[in-house]
Amino acid sequence: MTDYKNFKIETDADGIALVTWDMPGKSMNVLTAEVMDELDAIIDATVADAAVKGVVFTSGKSSFSGGADLSMIKSMFTLQAEEKAKDPAQAVEKLFALTGRMSGLYRKLETCGKPWVSAINGTCMGGAFELSLACHGRVASNAKSVKIALPEVKVGIFPGAGGTQRVPRLANAQDALQMMTTGSSLTGARAKAMGLVHQVVAPDELIPAAKQMIKDGLKPIAPWDEKGFKAPGGGIWTPASAQLWPAAPAILRRETAGNYPGALAILKCVYEGLQVPFDTALKIEQRYFTHILQTTEAFSMIRSLFISMQELGKGARRPAGVPKTEFKKVGIVGAGFMGASIGYVTAAAGIPVVLIDRDQEAADKGKSVCEGLTSGSVAKGRMSKEEGERLLSLITPTADYAALSDADLVIEAVFEDRDVKKAVAEKIEAVLPEGAIFASNTSTLPITGLAKNTKRPAQFIGIHFFSPVEKMMLTEVILGKETGDKALATALDYVAAIRKTPIVVNDTRGFYVNRCVFRYIGEAYDMLVEGVPAAMIENAAKMAGMPVGPLSLNDEVAVDLSYKIFKAAIADLGPQSVDPRHMELVTKMVEDGRLGRKAGKGFYDYPPKPQKKKLWPGLKALYPQQKPEEVDVKVLKERLLVTIALEAARTVEEGIVTDPREADVGSILGFGFAPYTGGTLSYIDGMGVATFVDLCEKLAAKYGDHFKPTPLLLDMAAKGETFYGRFDPYAKREAA
């Protein structure tokens, strides 16, 4: 049989060909045009070879496959844009043909006449699982690393290579819809319970079990190709379906507010597809997939949540030519909840940590936070007891700053006070080795000012974590005016080591994420003052696509933090820097002890569990209330999104954010900015800068000058530019 670049084939004495997918130079297999061409040839070759009785398809890596390759996804959008410029109608035809390539290949495998069994080890996602579904048998390992999913909806599309048709023909429709509309991962056992895999076995039994299926006479025919096939539960026209299908769109709308076309397309594909023969159903899926690929939501989400996130995670902003740092020890100064959590994620990456506080008792208390996080992970099965013990053994609590004398990186995470940070910086400076990098986990204080506390500002940088550290995937890396390339490279190496996504921003008060967050909260303050009912503010935010309302978010970050930020802004910038109505509102909340969730009361009341939080009834008495029917919910949604996007545009104009990918990814990972938009700048680009400017001017006329479009936006609107065009992140790289 021919030699292949991405596959190895060995045929045993029983005539079973073991096809091992093992792409050279990659840590994980991905679907590319080349891989599909080779797979096409392998199907032909195994069919033509009379000695081959069946095929076992597996991975030569620790994981099966993560699905489609980033470059292939990008090329589809590039091709679409190029063809659309030439001939829009022809562009759609070409896109339709392109989207059918993978689905057609899988159907060819499914109907080739010889049995194929997929042996699934590790992660099996997206198009790779759709490939497995086209095989006649599926065996999964019972290892903890096995994650089976069709997660396409999370990046704005849906399973378009047969997934929406095969899953509901193997599992009941309700489970199928739940799996695909949420993109949730399944263990091997759960996939078997749903009917998506046939066997779950120990890792060392995976290939033998797969081969045994063929030896036992596995039929090379999919169930839906057999006469008399009926979908689980009986299909669409049954009493159970009569209950499911009227409710499904309503439930989806409740969860997504109609913001995700890809999720709705899943419902349509399944509902229509189950009523027709399988090949017709695949065409229905192909038609919807072609349509969804042309939506702004799909383009923006794939760009930000798939392409940009991967590029940033792989060091897109890392300075060239600086050797990579291998961390032998990281020091964390400040063992409060934030510092301890940073220590926990550092140790979880296998890096030894020194956790320092004012005395041994405070340092030990910090380690106890790590112990609590570890026991929680062990209880949830995310790590074994031995892994937890190993993690904790890497964390050394102490009050002795001398323990930092051989650290590669020290992160200061003490109280947000300049004087406290200055005193701590002096102690760190006294013992810090010459080549080490010194970072501050400040959330608001400018890095350039803090760098004055150190003798080597070139080695000083901001690394801003978000709470809870162990869950939040974003880290903001802040450059002071004198921060050097080595400090930036080391910070990015560290963020990569702890498996988080970094954005790099220049120095300013509040940096990028917090500036946007406080504009969101500030707009809610405006609405409260206007008498908009608090429930409408919160619900409008969720309908706009935000994960939590601005008042709920303010409770989470603490209402007294807003008060402290206002006081600091007034002290540094003067009274005109804060809206007096906002100061009055927050002052009243703080005086009443309504400090947020931590105090058990804020804009919400937090009763003992299992009761749910409820908006504080006293909010209605603070300002004269508008009648709900007098409030335009569409305008509330616009105000909340536009005020954030405008602030993001200001940070670009001021040179704080220099790469649109970071503005978008940072806004989604940092505070959940409506993911279907692709992020703050994609929200503007998606509607067009001129349209956005018109919307800003309309809102400014009614709700205040903070909605006025900036000079940059006015210039871009006049020139017909976009953020990704004017600040093209790839142009710099190509020029270099």
| CB-side neighbour CA atoms (13 Å) of 200 | 19
**Closest to 583 in 3D by CA, of 554, 560, 549, 550:** 560
- What is the rounded distance in angstroms from the CA atom of residue 714 to the CA atom of residue 725? 15
- What is the rounded distance in angstroms from the CA atom of residue 116 to the CA atom of residue 132? 9
Tokens 């993001």 belong to: 648
Q: Is the pLDDT reported for residue 679 higher than 50? A: yes
Q: Is 346 helix (H, G, I), strand (E, B) or coil?
A: helix
Sign of the CA dihedral with 349 first, then 350, 352, and 356 last: positive
Please, what is the angle between helix 711-719 and helix 633-653, to 10°?
100
Q: Is the pLDDT reported for residue 734 higher than 60? A: no
How far is C-alpha 140 from the chain's CA centre? 26
Q: What is the pLDDT of residues 627-644, one digit of tens each?
A: 999 999 999 999 999 999
How far is C-alpha 588 from the chain's CA centre? 37
Mean pLDDT of 181-202: 94
| CATH of region 330-510 | 3.40.50.720
Q: Is the pLDDT reported for residue 609 higher than 90? A: no
pTM over 0.75: yes
Q: Which residues contact 234 (CB under 8 A, 6 or more apart)?
A: 240, 241
The predicted pLDDT at position 736 comes to: 46
Region of poorest pLDDT, from 11-25, 343-357, 453-467: 453-467
Asked whether 130 and 66 are in contact (CB, 8 A), the reply is: no
Please give the share of the chain, as a percent, with pLDDT higher than 90: 75
The predicted pLDDT at position 586 comes to: 93
Q: Is the pLDDT reported for residue 735 higher than 70? A: no
What separation in angstroms does the CA of 216 have from each of 53, 208, 210? 12, 12, 10
Q: What angle do CA 8, 10, 13 make, to 5 degrees?
A: 175
CATH number belonging to the domain at 514-726, selected among 3.30.450.40, 1.20.1250.20, 1.10.1040.50, 2.40.50.100: 1.10.1040.50
- What is the rounded distance in angstroms from the CA atom of residue 451 to the CA atom of residue 104? 59
Q: Per-domain residue ranges for the chain?
A: 7-294, 330-510, 514-726
Instruction: Please list the alpha-helical segments (H only) found in 275-336.
Output: 278-293, 296-301, 309-313
Binned at pLDDT 50, 70 and 90, residue 1 comes out as low
Give a three-class secondary structure readout of 393-418: HCEEEECCHHHHCCCCEEEECCCCCH
Per-residue exposure over 541-564, b if at least 16 CB sit within 10 Å of its own CB, e if not: bebbbbeebbbbbbbebbbbbbbe
Q: Is the pLDDT reported for residue 78 higher than 80? A: no
What is the full DSSP assignment across 486-532?
HHHHHHHHHHHHTT-EEEEEE--TTTTHHHHHHHHHHHHHHHHHHT-
Q: What is the pLDDT of residues 461-499, one digit of tens each?
A: 999 998 889 999 999 999 999 999 999 999 999 999 999
Q: Is the pLDDT reported for residue 18 higher than 90? A: yes
Torsion, Cα of 515, 521, 523, 527 (10° steps)? -170
Q: What is the pLDDT of residues 204-238, one digit of tens each?
A: 999 999 999 999 999 999 999 999 899 998 788 88
Residue 354, amino acid: V
Q: Which residues are tagged catalytic?
A: 464
Please give the share of the chain, as a percent, with pLDDT higher than 70: 99
Please state the φ and ψ torsions of residue 303, each to the nearest 5 degrees: -60, -50
| CATH of region 7-294 | 3.90.226.10
Mean pLDDT of 159-181: 95
Positions of E strands within 323-407: 330-333, 353-356, 395-398
Task: Locate 495 and state its tokens.
Answer: 């963020």
Residue 553, amino acid: L
Asked whether 611 and 600 are in contact (CB, 8 A), the reply is: no
CB neighbour class for 373 (10 Å; exposed up to 12, middle 13-18, buried from 19): buried
DSSP classification of residue 568: H
Q: What is the pLDDT of residues 235-250, one digit of tens each?
A: 888 888 888 999 999 9
Query: How many Å is the maximal CA-CA distance in the chain?
Result: 85
- CB-based contacts of 449-452 (< 8 A; 24+ apart in sequence): 449/418, 450/418, 450/421, 450/425, 450/480, 451/480, 451/481, 451/482, 451/483
